[in-house]
Structure 1
């Protein structure tokens, strides 16, 4: 090959290849183009190693280049077998840190003998590294292979292309520098990167992390909708930790239907680069679970999950029998083995046969065998039980199976000599699954979610960087404990100190500015009530006028866009009977919102009852009505009230209160102290109300808490009239409605806006109505308010009385109410379900979850 481009990683290699292909097709006006020679650095090292072997270079022929996975497993073995190690940390976590430390040593052209340990961790690492070097006879890691490749290039063994370009290398450690220097002695070598005008930078602040993620998803959605051909990068400093939160936020914006049951797999318009452990994939998780159970006893819940899994044989053809068998398993002891399980009655025959075949393969194994042979036996046993199931796997499951098979092949080649027990083989199997990232292959997506290192060097139209707070970016110095800290600082190793992290952050920030047209810095103002400060990169004069705002999304609209909705015109649902339940509240709900009335009274949807300590507002209202009923049964007239002394009146009020409270004295959840407090409070309220009653024109109480059937249009409803008085001076009727809270009489004279219908309906039941009024008995706000005939002596206005004169006669006002009430009754009877609520109606509506008018 004449030319070669080398990139730092595979993602940049793919992006650069696609760019060069598009460029050639555009220049030559063709729909096809020759694939350019673009390799990632890791691929180049493997290619160079193969070339050295092909041309017979002794050092390459005498050694085997091992993979990163094999390197990791070797470190795990060393740490696991260190008998002197006392720690609660798992060997895998220690191995990850040790691998990174060893890699840093090699990249900076050092060895385990080139430093003096300064801590227990570095002492331990030096011992492990010595053991690793000893175990590696005839094997080399990728970093160690570079040294041999450098020698082979210098000896003119490996033929180099005529020209090599190094694309987007921001950090070049000494080992890579030596490699590139050796290459430059044999061919033309050039450092290259994207050269474009600096991006326009913006800043956007969010209250907290949840708001930040919602804003990010809303911005990405809006941008994608307006510019479908644009490319977008969402860059996250700590992508692994925030992966699921990011997916949730993006799903909520782009794929809101994912929350619905039985939602099929869909193609997301975004791709998240950080993978998840292979063991987290459901199809792999089941294989791991079955092999772990083996012949041992386990909890019934695990066995039930195996029985009902779609990933074992005949799960569909025996689905009914297995569902019944699952019910049987719920009644057995807490633990069972697989063999005990299949001996139970009602065990489906095909399940029984496959489990027995699985157990036979597992039980026929020798006590010890090589890991490779164990893994082959595991494959055979899983096949016997019917894994991965009878249905065709979807795309994600297929890729998981493919990567699983490749992993088994690599494990067999690594552990091919020593013999181990079955439990040890399963340990290695679990270890590999947990430490191998699964990332489903996806088509090119317009939105890429990347870590900062993955995004560096890639080009986009927009780059949106999250978490640009000074606690996150630049990253904190986190030197590895396995190497002396001064050694790391001296050589400028990654994460060694704050100044090194700041310089590296500046390099990446400059790279981002040259990689897009618009760059958005996003940061949070608070975190768990702690105030946060933006990063130095997210503030400054160049950003002072570029405050970035995000429009919120309407998720109801999003659902309608993503889910096919068939609209049926079904407005009217006629009433089956003329007798309506619900009383006065039925027409009040119809006045406020027909949909709410339909849901509450026709569909019988109700709020969950609220459990309260003490008296509920409803109980207080009932007690208030009963107290006044008992009091006026005794008094009967205004004259009798006026003639009482203050002490006599207080005594009669107390007697009525005690009678009303008698039903509550036996309740265990209401203490006598609480009842006493309620009695004292109610005594004061009623005493102040009776002061108002004394000032009224003389009257006789005719009816108290009277139940009646009232016909309004096509409906007959049951009502309870709190009180009906007759005035002495004109022999006309007064209706009073008791209210334990504040009451508003303002809308009584506006029939079109009528929502409180108790008094208007009461007025329909009598002739010669003079006044309709509310008796508001709220502590400190006692008020007698209502509407009266213009000629009535009741018309009055003072501190505790507000009786307005009707605009016409009371007969005319009642006729207007009747028209309005009949309209409401006809609407309800016909089943009108229009959504026409007031703001207040929506705010306190008990059936909000059934309503589609408010997306929030």
Structure 2
């Protein structure tokens, strides 16, 4: 029979006999149910009873439900969330764990260890086998867990098989089980599962393991150079199979699929369904789908819901708020998308804030003051409603989980989460799964505990992170899955990727909380390499018998190193085949001759007026002519985003303001020396307060106030030592501070510049440029200076004579001080080893260099010629425009090296 359209005859016959079919995984159960429906539809029937086909977990849960109805038990079967809560409560009460910030992850590990122990029937052997502090701790927790479960009438899911086994032995399940059970898709049954089956068999129930196999016609092996080539070959091979058999069912099996999912999706879209590359295409279409789902918390719709709820309790980082504003799941978006995008780019990201996060209340206020307010009505109304509901709910009160679940529904409704747009099938299923997660949150009320909103939200986030979401299968012809998910299913063809010895079998390790000796004695995974190898070989053989054509591929070079075919395939008769025989090579892109057009048009002349940019124009021209042209004539810049708090430039500006205010008050070094320390500190604090006045206006929360207090302390610690250094200099008077020179001329350019400070020293003027970052005077001594500000100030100065030009390095540590060029060492300036012999001659040389740069900018010298590639281009925002070719500079470097060798 055709496995795609009809149910395997053996399964159909067993169901007709009244058997219950139990599968090893949910996918196999779903596939068999679909086959059952198609089988009856092919018989021409209009209706039929649902088949008794269930996955193991669903089947055992149904048996427990029958026991509850029959009055044979009153224990509560814990779901995963409830059991985690019990373990977490036990761990939180452990005095040895008080130093841990949270025990949630450790509770998850303990729950996994308990599940493994119960699956192998080792509870009674745990005591007395602990050998390390970790295993002794787990033994202590496990004892308390058992005691609490007995006291409260609870049953962990891991103990369900043994409880059912006891119920069968007591005769409590005679009416709940059928006379025949067919097992499908079990690669390995745990001792607990085997024990239950044996107990049922002892009561007369017929137990049959039914392998679903297909006679192999071709078993092939393909070797690629690397993993990228292997993936592309797989996609091309699958496409070829579909072209040959459009109705074929193909499985692509990948070990450790989750880590490679994104790359597989990208390549399969490109090769199998290039039409899906369109950004407007429906992502849930095409010839392939992943059988393995993703965690609900990672879906866009659920992630938006969690962010909205989190926003009601605390401020969120800028990127998350930006993502919310542009999300289709927050308030109706269709009519406001453009306005929201503009608000995000031009207001939200440029708004100055001290705090690194944005609160809901702050954003509501920001929208009210926005010039786009009229175009953001829906967003504003929904956020304001959300804020009102959030305050009314009283998030600091203690409530039950069920009450908080309803409150969360109310908050999401206030934000119009997912409203205002037609849902597709996947979104509808996501919403249903989200509702089930809220229902699961309510089940935490089993112990009567009341919690805060934040505690309930943390529990909800954990549930969503552990809940697998897989949309209902579209029955796409290509199914991408892991090795275990393929159990119990057959296909027309299978392609097993990553079958090299470094990728398959997947490594197994012993559980760190269980004693090694106990795990070894019980035969748990990860304790016997031969046992693990045999298990992997059985899985591989099962896969090889699940399709008529099976291809095993691997890459000779993997990320971990060189590899060969996995030993798990050694029992198979594989036919080596070349890549070209199974997948046509990708066509080489056609070469298009580049058309060159010589642009002879010149640039329009600059106007005879002040050009905005000051000394920065000369710095950019020195770095690269094209960059200066792009930034100062085309005004091509990166999007201007504001950092949270005070960024480096703002901190530097504040230092300038403090020193400007201080010297406007003090004026001379003699006045500085005459001040007592308390008087100097008081004036410095007054100047700092004036410099931070604008920042003070942004302070809204205690966090903001603490941040500004830290900035005051930093400025005091930085500028106190700086003033001590100033008092130790040779005598000087401050001639001017932060003086703006308007419409000064350098070459053909009219500029406006601001000189940080000019002192009158013993033998002339000293020009000072404050620097809070790294600065080197040697940068001035080239025809393309990296820092032309001070040379420009020196050229424009009318001082006669000029005593020194120096960086005022206002930095903590040994670099603090004045460093530059001076007429003599008596000026108190640190003069570097490389310096001009005569400062006056150097100023004349600077005049020539800066005039040349000004003329180049004025005349439109826009050659792409970075001064020092690649460092000059590292932070340049114009690389998309200049499209620099690194190879051309490497060639120039080689030519220069060759010439140097000749010399």
TM normalised by structure 2 equals: 0.59
From 121, 140, 143, give the equivalent of 2:134: 121
- Secondary structure in 1 matching 2:485: helix
CA distance in 2, matches of 1:519, 1:55: 49
Question: CA shift at 1:480, angstroms?
Answer: 0.9
Establish whether residue 341 from structure 1 lines up as the match of residue 354 from structure 2. Answer: no
Q: CA 1:194 to 1:317, structure 2 compared with 1: closer, same or farther past 3 Å? A: closer
**Closer/same/farther in 2, CA of residues 552 and 97 from structure 1, 3 Å limit:** farther
Structure 1 partner of 2:804 = none
**2:214/2:490 contact within 8 Å kept:** no
Partner SS state of residue 415, structure 1:
helix
Question: Partner of 1:10 in structure 2?
Answer: 26
CA distance in 1, matches of 2:27, 2:543: 16
Which range moves more in the overlay, 4-13 or 72-81?
A: 72-81
Q: Where do 1:363-382 residues align within 5 Å?
A: 363-366=391-394, 367-382=397-412
Aligned counterpart in structure 1 of residue 274 of structure 2, from 256, 261, 265:
256
Q: For 1:203-282, list aligned pairs within 5 A.
A: 203-282=221-300
Counterpart secondary structure, 1:420: coil
Query: For 1:444 and 1:603, how far apart are their aligned partners in 2?
Result: 61
CA distance in 1: counterparts of 2:572 and 2:183, whole angstroms: 34
- 1:391 corresponds in structure 2 to 421
- How far did residue 430 of structure 1 move? 1.8
1:597 pairs with one of 595, 598, 608: 595
**In 1, Cα distance between the equivalents of 2:597 and 2:159?**
74
- After superposition, where does 1:571-610 map in structure 2 within 5 Å? 596-597=594-595
In the alignment, the residues of structure 2 paired with residue 354 and residue 599 of structure 1 have an alpha-carbon distance, to the nearest angstrom, of: 54
Q: Distance in 2 between matches of 1:598 and 1:302?
A: 45
- Displacement after TM superposition at 1:612 (Å): 14
**Larger CA Rg, structure 1 vs 2:** 1
Say which SS state the counterpart of residue 123 (structure 2) adopts: coil
Instruction: Give the SS at the match of 1:17.
Output: helix
- The corresponding residue for 1:330 is 349
Alpha carbons 1:314, 1:390 under 8 Å: kept: yes
The alignment's C-alpha RMSD in Å is 3.6
Contact 2:256–2:506 (CA under 8 A) maintained in structure 1: no
Specify the SS of the correspondent of 2:595. helix
1:600 and 1:276 map into 2 onto residues whose CA distance is 54
**3-state DSSP of counterpart to 2:573:** helix
Helix, strand or coil at the partner of 1:463: strand
Return closer, same or farther for 1:46/1:260 CA change in 2, 3 Å cut-off: same
Question: 2:190 matched to which residue of 1?
Answer: 173
Is the contact between residue 202 and residue 548 of structure 1 (CA under 8 Å) also seen in structure 2?
Answer: no
- How far residue 557 of structure 1 moved from its aligned partner, in angstroms, is 10
Measured at CA, do residues 440 and 541 of structure 1 come closer, stay the same or move farther in structure 2, by a change above 3 Å?
Answer: closer
Aligned residue for 1:131? 144
- Closer/same/farther in 2, CA of residues 541 and 518 from structure 1, 3 Å limit: closer
Change (3 A) 1:556 1:309: farther
Match of residue 52, structure 1, among 59, 67, 89: 67
Cα 1:466–1:350 change in 2 (3 A) is closer
Q: Is 1:449 the equivalent of 2:480?
A: yes
* Residue 204 of structure 2 corresponds to residue 186 of structure 1: yes
- Alignment match, 2:302: 284
Q: Deviations over 1:676-711 (max 9, x none)?
A: xxxxxxxxxxxxxxxxxxxxxxxxxxxxxxxxxxxx
Distance 2:102 2:601 in 1: 58
CA distance in 1, matches of 2:624, 2:315: 52
CA distance in 1, matches of 2:383, 2:587: 47
By how many angstroms is 1:406 displaced? 0.8
Q: Give the number of equivalent residue pairs.
A: 580
In structure 2, relative to structure 1, the CA distance for the partners of 1:364 and 1:240 (3 Å cut) is same
Partners of 2:398 and 2:216 lie apart in 1 by 63
Structure-1 separation of matches of 2:320 and 2:572 = 60
Identify if the C-alpha distance between structure 1 residues 272 and 412 changes in structure 2 by more than 3 Å, giving closer, same or farther: same
Give per-residue Cα distances to partners, 1:743-795, cap 9 Å, x unaligned: xxxxxxxxxxxxxxxxxxxxxxxxxxxxxxxxxxx99xxxxxxxxxxxxxxxx
Shift of 1:204: 0.8
Q: 2:381 aligns with which of 353, 370, 394?
A: 353
- Counterpart of 1:400 (choices 430, 437, 447) is 430
Q: 1:600 to 1:495 in 2, by over 3 A?
A: farther
User: 1:459 Cα shift?
Assistant: 0.9
Cα deviation for residue 330 of structure 1 reads 2.9
Report the equivalent of 1:536.
Answer: 567
Superposition deviation, residue 252 in structure 1: 1.9
- Map 1:474-553 to 2 at 5 A: 474-528=505-559, 530-538=561-569, 542-543=573-574, 545-546=576-577, 549=580, 550-552=582-584
Could you state the TM-score of these two structures normalised by the residue count of structure 1?
A: 0.62
Q: 1:769 — aligned with what? A: none
Q: 1:439 aligns with which of 470, 483, 495?
A: 470
Equivalent-residue separation in structure 1 for 2:600 and 2:200 (angstroms): 83
**Pair 1:70-2:82 in alignment:** yes
**Cα drift, residue 84 of structure 1:** 2.2
Assess if the C-alpha contact under 8 Å between 2:186 and 2:487 holds in 1.
no
Contact 2:126 2:139 in 1 (8 A): no
- CA deviations 1:12-37 (Å, max 9, x no partner) are 122233344555666x5657655432
CA distance in 1, matches of 2:287, 2:589: 18
Cα 1:476/1:331, change in 2 over 3 Å: closer
Q: Residues of 2 paired with 1:500 and 1:86: CA distance?
A: 40
Deviates more, 1:202-211 or 1:528-537: 528-537
Describe the shift of the 1:600–1:323 C-alpha distance in structure 2 as closer, same or farther (beyond 3 A). Answer: same
Deviation at 1:602, TM superposition (A): 13
Task: Give distance in 2, aligned partners of 1:466 and 1:75.
Answer: 39
Shift of 1:95: 3.6
